[in-house]
């Protein structure tokens, strides 16, 4: 069905009546929820992935993204209804589809340089099935200008841009809440290659998003939105970390100060912590830094340096806390709680635990690790020994805010541990309760050293 030229209401009707086929390239943590939501609103959806096991699971009606509440039922229902299927054949999917959405992971190096290979591979496959009136949409976050650079590859189809539409509609989701986010937590941002494509893309996303759509003046502007969201968070976290370290110097409790300051509606201080991980926030600032030619984004660079330094700062807190009880870090038994980059998600990209474990070992500490979402093999990859109890442990360092850690029995910990030291890098425990049980308890922004 040719969508370019139809107005948004006509497109919404066509989707709901099952007349539109959408191919979603990349059916992982973000792609599968999107595919299932479109199918649930009436579209015929083909999920495309290079992982044969994932494709087989989906075609059986099984969800492989277990962190997403409600996705099991959404996948099962739409596979059974014949609205959702999966394939490894990206060319075949393009030949069937009216809309192709690219949501493959955008891999980067440490400096945010994008590895374009997977994105261009998908564009190459789409070009072999692209027809007049089709629309290609990128959802993966990319440096401004990247989506438009795909036009040359797509034009291998023999069509010129304008005969097919090109758009960017950045995903604005978090693992664990993707369905909620896709269907109405935030409005959808879209930018397109021309007005007719923009009108069509607005209709596509208004079908599934209760909060509506924000149309942008260009594809680059839409790309910049998601990048700037990530930069804002990174800079804000860096500010919180810097102010928290200042509070340590002057004997203040940063969380107490932040909570009071944030009651003023113009103040939005984030939470300080052990470091910033994941494939989003630590990466997007480099898109801006690397693209800058005449400007020098000093603030953004400094924020990255501060946030990357926080694992080292947390190790420094461990040294101070152990010194308080007369124990050196060398030879101490340290248990790192949390290998993932944040709570509730099994992801390891730029997780704070890795540099913390590495530095602890450089100090000569005996390092153990535990994470409720991980395995002993994961701990081994991080260079630590797996440990599920607290016997003979001198200090605990919390590096991920898993819900399970909020429920730690401090009385039992005090009984099991050899030395009572807690470094809370994610602010999950209560300072007063920890001190009541005799712990030397430090967190970023609270350097409250007392003899237990």
Which candidate in 280, 350, 354, 374 is catalytic?
280
411 C-beta neighbours (distance < 10 Å), count: 12
Angle at 42 between CA 38 and CA 44, to 5 degrees: 75
The answer to whether the Cα torsion of 244, 248, 250, 252 is positive or negative is: positive
Residue 380 in this model has a pLDDT that exceeds 80? yes
pLDDT digits (tens, 9 = 90+) for 160-188: 999 999 999 999 998 889 999 999 999 99
Which candidate in 12, 85, 188, 226 is catalytic?
226
Per-residue pLDDT, 69: 86
- Please report, rounded to a whole number, the percentage of residues in the chain having pLDDT higher than 90: 91
The answer to whether 207 and 16 have CB atoms below 8 angstroms apart is: yes
Per-residue pLDDT, 66: 85
Residue 112 in this model has a pLDDT that exceeds 70? no
pLDDT digits (tens, 9 = 90+) for 395-431: 999 999 999 999 999 999 999 999 999 999 999 999 9
Average pLDDT, integer, range 64-85: 95
Average pLDDT, integer, range 203-208: 98
Helices 8-16 and 195-206: crossing angle in degrees, nearest 10, is: 40
Residues 6+ apart with CB under 8 A from 9: 203
Task: In whole angstroms, give the CA distance from residue 98 to residue 24.
Answer: 11
Cβ burial of 271 (10 Å; 0-12, 13-18, 19+) is middle
The answer to whether 356 and 418 have CB atoms below 8 angstroms apart is: no
pLDDT digits (tens, 9 = 90+) for 306-358: 999 999 999 999 999 999 999 999 999 999 999 999 998 888 989 999 999 99
Residue 449 in this model has a pLDDT that exceeds 70? no
Per-residue pLDDT, 240: 98
Residue 232 in this model has a pLDDT that exceeds 50? yes
Q: Can you spell out the DSSP letters for 32-68?
A: HHHHHHHHHTT-EEEEE-S-HHHHHHHHTT----TTS
Q: Which of 420, 230, 235 is nearest to 333 (CA)?
A: 420
Helices 254-261 and 219-249: crossing angle in degrees, nearest 10, is: 130
Q: What's the pTM value of the predicted model, to 2 decimals?
A: 0.92
Residue 452 in this model has a pLDDT that exceeds 50? no
Residues of the chain with CATH 3.40.50.720: 8-217, 238-451
268 C-beta neighbours (distance < 10 Å), count: 12
pLDDT band at 450 (very low <50, low <70, confident <90, very high): low
Quick check: is 247 catalytic? Answer: no
pLDDT digits (tens, 9 = 90+) for 433-444: 999 999 999 999
Mean pLDDT (the chain) is: 95
SS3 letters for 188-254? EEEEECCHHHHHHHHHHHHCCCCCCEEECCCHHHHHHHHHHHHHHHHHHHHHHHHHHHHHHHCCCCH
Task: In whole angstroms, give the CA distance from residue 384 to residue 388.
Answer: 13
Quick check: is 280 catalytic? Answer: yes
Residues 112-116: contacts with CB under 8 Å, at least 24 apart = 112/283, 112/284, 112/285, 112/286, 112/287, 112/289, 112/290, 113/286, 113/290, 114/142, 114/143, 114/146, 114/287, 116/146
Which contiguous run of DSSP H or E holds residue 118?
A: helix 117-127
8-217 is classed CATH 3.40.50.720: yes
238-451 is classed CATH 3.40.50.720: yes
């Amino acid at each position: 069905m040719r969508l370019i030229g139809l107005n948004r209401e006509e497109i919404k009707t066509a989707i709901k009546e099952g007349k539109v086929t959408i191919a979603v390239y990349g059916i992982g943590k973000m792609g599968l929820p999107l595919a299932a939501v479109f199918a649930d609103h009436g579209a015929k959806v083909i999920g495309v992935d290079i992982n044969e096991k994932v494709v087989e699971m989906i075609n059986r009606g099984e969800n492989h993204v277990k962190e997403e509440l409600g996705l099991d039922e959404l996948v099962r229902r739409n596979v059974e209804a014949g609205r959702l299927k999966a394939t490894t054949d990206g060319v075949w999917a393009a030949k069937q589809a009216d809309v192709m959405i690219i949501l493959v992971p955008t891999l980067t190096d440490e400096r945010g340089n994008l590895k374009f290979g997977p994105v261009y591979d998908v564009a190459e496959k789409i070009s072999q099935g692209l027809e007049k009136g089709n629309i290609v949409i990128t959802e993966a976050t990319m440096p401004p200008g990247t989506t438009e650079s795909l036009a040359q590859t797509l034009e291998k189809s023999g069509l010129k841009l304008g005969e097919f539409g090109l758009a960017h509609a950045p995903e604005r989701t978090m693992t664990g809440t993707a369905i909620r986010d896709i269907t109405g937590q935030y409005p959808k941002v879209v930018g397109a290659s021309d007005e007719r494509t923009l009108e069509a893309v607005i209709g596509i996303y208004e079908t599934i998003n209760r909060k509506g759509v924000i149309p942008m003046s260009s594809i680059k502007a839409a790309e910049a939105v998601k990048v700037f969201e990530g930069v804002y968070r990174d800079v804000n976290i860096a500010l919180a970390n810097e102010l928290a370290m200042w509070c340590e110097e002057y004997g203040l409790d940063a969380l107490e100060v932040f909570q009071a300051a944030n009651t003023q509606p113009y103040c939005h201080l984030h939470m300080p912590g052990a470091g910033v991980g994941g494939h989003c926030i630590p990466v997007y600032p480099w898109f801006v830094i690397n693209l800058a030619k005449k400007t020098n984004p000093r603030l953004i660079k400094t924020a990255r340096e501060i946030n990357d330094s926080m694992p080292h700062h947390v190790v420094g807190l461990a040294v101070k806390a152990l010194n308080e009880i007369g124990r050196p870090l060398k030879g101490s038994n340290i248990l790192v709680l949390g290998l993932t980059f944040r709570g509730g998600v099994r992801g390891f990209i730029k997780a704070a635990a890795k540099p913390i474990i590495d530095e602890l070992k450089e100090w000569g500490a005996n390092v153990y690790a535990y994470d409720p979402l991980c395995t002993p093999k994961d701990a081994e990859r991080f260079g630590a020994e797996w440990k599920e109890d607290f016997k003979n442990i001198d200090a605990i360092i919390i590096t991920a805010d898993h819900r399970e850690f909020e429920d730690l029995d401090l009385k039992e910990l005090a009984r099991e541990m050899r030395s009572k030291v807690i470094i809370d890098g994610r602010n999950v425990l209560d300072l007063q309760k920890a001190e009541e049980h005799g712990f030397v308890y430090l967190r970023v922004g609270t350097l409250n050293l007392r003899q237990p």
